[in-house]
Copies of this chain bind each other. A is one copy, B any other.
Amino acid sequence: MRAEFVNPFLASMLEVMSTMARLDLTPGKPQRKTDERALGDVSGLIGMIGPQTRGSMSVTFQKGLALEAMRRMLGEAPAEINEEVTDMVGEITNMVTGGAKRRLAEKGFDFEMATPMVVAGTDHSISHHAQGPRIVMPFESPFGRAVIEICFE
């Protein structure tokens, strides 16, 4: 997978978190996923299908960062990951993928987005089963970490 495909997701994530939640995340270096698992507490997942490719994207948040994003968007945050939080993560997943889709369309790569799903559960991990390289993009913040993973065939 080319950097051309990775950077649109990275840029879209930074933009969405900054404009929606006024949170400026610090991106780490994107890398090929090996065996290690990124654990998080709430994740948004979405499938993508294009004329030449298909794949999936996940964005996983540690609980502290998800709750801080809620607090900044709505003025208050629940103590735990509840339905309001999973709705927000579903919306973020749509917006990050939509932003990446726009950026990629400008370069001639097209895909359609399925509808997002959200997983809630302490320290879960996600694996992508497309037959292609899996790229991990870590994002740091004082409130916890977020990780995007993408995999395209």
Contacts and interface: CB of A to CB of B under 8 A. Distances in A.
A120 to B, nearest CB: 5
Nearest to A112: B49
Query: What is the oligomeric copy number?
Result: 2
B153 A115 contact: yes
A131 B90 CA distance: 12
A112 B49 CA distance: 8
Interface of A: 35, 39, 43, 45-49, 54-56, 58, 83, 86-87, 90, 93-94, 112-131, 151, 153
A114 B48 CA distance: 6
Contact of A55 (B90, B114, B129, B131): B114
A90 B86 CA distance: 23
